[in-house]
Every structure is written in structure tokens, then in C-alpha cells.
Amino acid sequence: MAILADFKAEKPTWCPGCGDFGVLNALQRASVELGLDPEEMVVVSGIGCSGKLSAYFGSYGLHSIHGRSLPTAQGVKLANRELTVLAAGGDGDGFGIGLGHFIHAMRRNIDITYLVMDNHIYGLTTGQTSPTSDAGMITKTAPTGAVEEPVHPLHLALVTGCGFVAQGFSGDIVQLATIVKRAIAHKGFSFVNIFSPCVTYNKQNTYEFYKSHVKKVEDDPTYDAGNRFAALERVTEANALLTGVLYEGDRVTFEDGHAKYSTKGLATQEHTLSDDDYVKLLADFR
């Protein structure tokens, strides 16, 4: 059985205090608690500080191009359903250039987990306004304050029909590890938005801000994670500052929706053509 050390690879080079350290730690803990094997996992990341996650997590990994972690991760899962596949990225990567992929991934419902490290800023490129930057936020590209309405990822996920919607905070690794564990175990597309403070370029959405404003849904005995519309209402009331599993429901996965789709990965299937099939194939091209 794998231990925590098995899920550690390169030494992270994030800025000291970066929220992404907490995300990496939570993913490692969740993987151990689920009894997963590093050799049976794949993490596909996008571009940005968060994109380095695939190099720091001790499994197979692929550092994809900007905004394309989701289509790549879906392709990996479809090629081998036996793998545990995760996609990871930041708010700029996922809700900017990758927003279209996010919507279709939720609609398609392939069995992967998507972790977004949302720091409300472009960190790698030194502090520009991101898709989730709050209106009025002063950044390098908005010196008088952002005027655009930010993307609301939780609302988007809930109304698009995502089967698992959760939000965590990298300053609470215990809760975050539990959320990630449930997301991986969920059958279908799982989305986890994570408040992951950028200590270098975002002085507004800090650890102190989240610690004083975020509320955990598990502390509310009336919260119903099985009611999508109630979840949408509660998220709206709380200005999206809720953490925990916000919604979970059952949907047929893309893989199970295709009756003849093999449960075995392509690498373990027999692909040799019989002599008769070979003759028939050649005949089709004459």
C-alpha cells in the first residue's frame, strides 16, 4: 500500500506561503486514504503556477498547454478507464481560455476530477486581472480597479448540471483533503474550486480574509447537498464564500452511456486483426 512519501516528487518552487502547497498536501493525503497506487494515477495540469502540480505530485503527469488540461485529461481517461485521472489548473487557465472546455466537460460527465486553484489573479505573469478577480480590484492591468463582472464558477457548475460541486480552502488542509477524497470517489465529473491565496500579488484575497469570511456547509445541519437548486441559492446568499461538498448527485457517465465501450484500457486490449478482418478492411479501400 502506498504511503505519503510515494506521492512526493520534485521539490515545489512556489513562493513561500503559496496556497498551492496546501492543495498538493491535500491531494497527497486523499490519495493515501483512498488506497490509490501512484502508478495508476495521472495528473494533467495547465499553464500557470498551479500547472506545476503535475511535476510535484508523485504519479504519472502531463503539463499541458494553456487552458487544455480538461480535454487532455478526458482523453487519458477514455483511453484507459482503469486509471484515476485528475485535471488541475488555476482560475486564469480554467475560467479564461479554458472556460469552454469546462462547460463541455461538465456536460459530458467523464469520470475525472478537476481541481482549480483559484487565487483571483494571474500569479505566474506577475499580477494581472483574472476571470475571477473581484470587481473594483486593483491589479497591474486594472490600476483604477477591475470593471468586469467576475466569472462565478460555482454558479456555472450548478446550472450546467455538474454531478459533484465542491469548494475548499488551502488554509484548511483537513477539510480540503476530505473534499478531494470525496471528489475522486465520485463516479462522474467532479469539480472542486479551491481558494488558494497568492501571497505575492493578491493582497486582497488573503488567508486572513478567507479565515474570517468562509463558512463550512458541514457546520450547518440544515444544508442539503443533494438539492441542486437549494445549493445554488445558498451559494448566492453567501457570495460563494462556502466550503465543503455543495452538491452531489447521480448521473450516467459518458463511459457508461456507451453500451459497447470497453471497461479495459486500450493498452490491455487485443488489437490484432484476424485474416478475414484484414481482407475485409483492404476491400473497403479498393
Length of the chain in residues, anyone? 286
**Reduced 3-state DSSP string for 203-229:** CCCCHHHHHHHCEEHHHCCCCCCCCHH
pLDDT, tens digit, 9 for 90 and up, residues 189-210: 999 999 999 999 999 999 999 9
Parallel, antiparallel or unpaired: strands 242-248 and 164-169: antiparallel
Average pLDDT, stretch 227-234?
97
- CA 263, CA 216: separation in Å to the nearest integer? 37
pLDDT, tens digit, 9 for 90 and up, residues 50-74: 999 999 999 999 999 999 999 999 9
**pLDDT reported for residue 261:** 81
Q: Where are the domains of the chain?
A: 9-258
**Interacting residues of 173 by C-beta distance below 8 A, sequence separation 6+:** 22, 25, 26, 29
- CA 181, CA 178: separation in Å to the nearest integer? 5
Helix (H, G, I), strand (E, B) or coil at 83: coil
**Interacting residues of 200 by C-beta distance below 8 A, sequence separation 6+:** 15, 18, 123, 127
User: Which residue carries 486572513 as its cell?
Assistant: 208
pLDDT reading at 47 higher than 90: yes
Helix (H, G, I), strand (E, B) or coil at 195: strand
User: Which residue carries 461538498 as its cell?
Assistant: 245
- CATH, domain 9-258, list 1.10.132.20, 3.40.50.970, 3.40.50.1460, 2.60.40.1220: 3.40.50.970
Phi, psi angles (nearest 5°) of residue 179: -65, -50
Set of cell numbers at residue 116:
482549480
- Alpha carbon 24 to its chain centroid, in Å, reads 12
- CA 25, CA 120: separation in Å to the nearest integer? 21
Q: What strands, in cross-sheet order, belong to the sheet with 190-195?
A: 60-63, 41-45, 84-90, 113-118, 190-195, 164-169, 242-248, 215-216
Read off the pTM: 0.94
pLDDT reading at 43 higher than 90: yes
Quick check: 245 and 182 in contact, CB under 8 A? yes
